[in-house]
Chain A
Amino acid sequence: MADVVFLALSVITIGCAIAALEMRSLIYGSIALMGTLGGIAGFFLLLDSPFVAMFQLAVYVGSIAVLILFTVMLVKRELIFKKVEDKRRKFVGIALMLVFIVALGSIIMDSGIKTITTDEPAVDFRNIGADFLTYYWPALILMALILTSSVTGALILARREDENEQRTD
């Protein structure tokens, strides 16, 4: 059962990823990207971690994909349906991807992932939260600082000079 689901999810994820790159229309491409992200959420469900799966759906499908859709709709109408074809770039891209996948695969295979026992019960997300707040607290603080600085930077970039012209409530 799990194998069938795994195969179906793989087909959906990889197929949607290829479709997202190859689609003529940018809107359909972003829908395919949503399919890819949803498929990854499905993988997390198969791995007994619904917590991560739900965050994957809420953040990547619910926010990032919406952002991409919104950006696509701001693009000029002609650009949505036309695409510049370049054969050489395509092949170089495919070759780069293959090199990258092989390198990544060899690293993962050498990392001792084979010795992990897979029939252990799934880790409770409460334990992950407790670990984050005790042993890994510097990482948490660092992440919070990076996020805060990026939000502040975005606010400064988005600030308008003509504040006097804005309507007041």
Chain B
Amino acid sequence: MSVIAPNFKFSEFVKAILDNAFWILLIFVLIGLPAVFLILFYIEMPVINGELLTPFLALTWLADPSRTLPILKAFMTTDLFKIAAFPGFGFAALIAAGTIFIERKMLAKLQLRVGPFYCGKFEGILQLMGDGLKLISKEIIIPAKADKPIFWAAPILFVATAAAFVALIPVAPGWVVADVDVGLLAVFAVIGFFPIITILSAWSSNSKYPFIGGIRALHQMVSFEIPLILSLLGVVILTGTLNLSEIVASQSNFPWIIFLPIGAIIFFITILAELERIPFDLPEAESEIVAGWLTEFSGMIYGLVQLGTYLKLYAFAALFVVLFLGGWTGPMIWPPFPEDIITNGIVLGPITAKIPGLPIFSQEMLNGVLWFVIKTMGVIFFILLPRGVFPRIRVDMLLSLGWYKLIGLAFVNIFIALGLLYAGVLGPGGIL
């Protein structure tokens, strides 16, 4: 007797499978075949390469890689692919999911725990999927006196803003969703939306703990935006551009962290504060105000806020890589695509398959993505690390750190950049 399905009978299982097969066959014969003939008789099909495109020919093409690869490559240059899959949302969500798992496992190892262990055969690797399914299946509870429109809209807006931030990040040469001239300013504009969404969602839940957390988040984010913007001006002064792709291209010889280490440190500290991570997690201080501004969220809207938070984490880490660590630049370590396959095709015994359209990605692009991901994961590691090490600091210490020390240091950083520029060492017309 099984625990999961106590009324399980093998005969009924077989019967169910046979039933399904019967119905699928019947529906296909009664609806599918007539549909194909309707298409053949009544709709004018296009002629491609001198052949009339019939549904059967289209199916044949799908099975033939030499004909599907060009279609795939054409699809990969479209905006839809860029926004949804590669440099945009899908790629960032994948890295965000990896970050969540690494964070839980690494924190557990730091604190001599085991961490996620049972979900999935190997080291709890399916824990995240289980958590996601749990969040989707849970009920969304809305507080009785909440302001419903804002309460519903806030998590969606949060994810949308994080996705807009992700869209500005260049991942490999030419691979960026929105390559705008004023990329860095656009980043500042997008960052400015996070405190608004936070305080609105905190207010809309009409509850004490979220409101206190929201006010704290507002204080923290708004006051740390100033050193964040000031710390990046050094890079802008030295490169003379606001376009993120051009900033990366200017670091082909050396990353800016060598000349502007103070700016990099200030930016890293402000990242921690903007992301509300320990030691600056006052808005979500679980020992004081339950979960801060996330207290009243439940079910999938909590999941959406978490997704937005980790997308934001990826975007900030990627911004650090783009501005200070040289983005995708790095020695060529990706092996070149074998020439054999392009000229002779793949030989499998008596069969030779010639596949035009390979390689799908160029060697430079793959190498760039590899270096970008390695550097970004390194920065994410350093963002996660303080959580296992430091306690939370007081709010007055936080504000004095932001307003006195970081802003002062940011001006020191700007003067270093100006000195390097006017001494003729770096920048346009510099000796390096």
**Is this pair of chains taken from one and the same complex?**
yes
- With an 8 A cutoff between CB atoms, is A27 at the interface? yes
Number of A-B contacts (CB under 8 A): 62
- With an 8 A cutoff between CB atoms, is B252 at the interface? no
Encode A127-169 as 1/0 by CB contact (under 8 A) with B. Answer: 0000000000000000000000000000000000000000101
**In the bound complex, how far is the Cα of B185 from the Cα of A63, in angstroms?**
14
Main secondary structure of the interface of A (DSSP, over half): helix
- With an 8 A cutoff between CB atoms, is B186 at the interface? yes
A-contacting 9-mer, from B98-106, B192-200, B351-359: B192-200
Q: A54-B185, A54-B186 are in contact. Are A66 and B218 (CB under 8 A)?
A: yes
Question: Does B182 contact A54, Cβ atoms closer than 8 Å?
Answer: yes
Contact partners of B188 in chain A: CB under 8 A: 54, 58, 62
Contact partners of B181 in chain A: CB under 8 A: 50
**In the bound complex, how far is the Cα of B193 from the Cα of A61, in angstroms?**
8
**In the bound complex, how far is the Cα of B191 from the Cα of A45, in angstroms?**
19
- With an 8 A cutoff between CB atoms, is A51 at the interface? yes
Q: A58-B188, A58-B189, A169-B396 are in contact. Are A66 and B182 (CB under 8 A)?
A: no
**In the bound complex, how far is the Cα of B137 from the Cα of A113, in angstroms?**
60
**For chain A residues 50-67, which have a beta carbon within 8 Å of chain B?**
50-51, 54-55, 57-58, 61-63, 65-66
Contact partners of A167 in chain B: CB under 8 A: 396
Q: A66-B218, A66-B222 are in contact. Are A31 and B189 (CB under 8 A)?
A: no
Question: Does B182 contact A51, Cβ atoms closer than 8 Å?
Answer: yes
- With an 8 A cutoff between CB atoms, is B180 at the interface? yes
Contact partners of A65 in chain B: CB under 8 A: 196
Closest chain B residue to A60, Cβ basis: B192
Contact partners of A169 in chain B: CB under 8 A: 396-397, 400
- With an 8 A cutoff between CB atoms, is A108 at the interface? no
- With an 8 A cutoff between CB atoms, is B314 at the interface? no
Closest chain B residue to A168, Cβ basis: B396
**In the bound complex, how far is the Cα of B150 from the Cα of A34, in angstroms?**
14
Looking at the assembled complex, report how far the CB atom of A13 sits from the nearest CB atom of chain B, in whole angstroms: 17
B-side interface residues toward A, CB under 8 Å?
147, 150, 180-182, 185-186, 188-189, 191-193, 195-196, 199-200, 203, 215, 218, 222, 225, 240, 396-397, 400
**Further 6 A-B residue pairs, CB within 8 A, beyond A57-B189, A66-B195, A126-B240:** A27-B147, A50-B180, A50-B181, A51-B185, A62-B191, A169-B397
For this complex, 18 residue pairs linking A to B, each with C-beta atoms less than 8 Å apart, are A27-B150, A31-B200, A34-B196, A50-B182, A51-B182, A54-B189, A55-B185, A55-B189, A61-B196, A62-B191, A63-B192, A63-B222, A66-B195, A66-B196, A69-B199, A73-B199, A125-B182, A169-B400
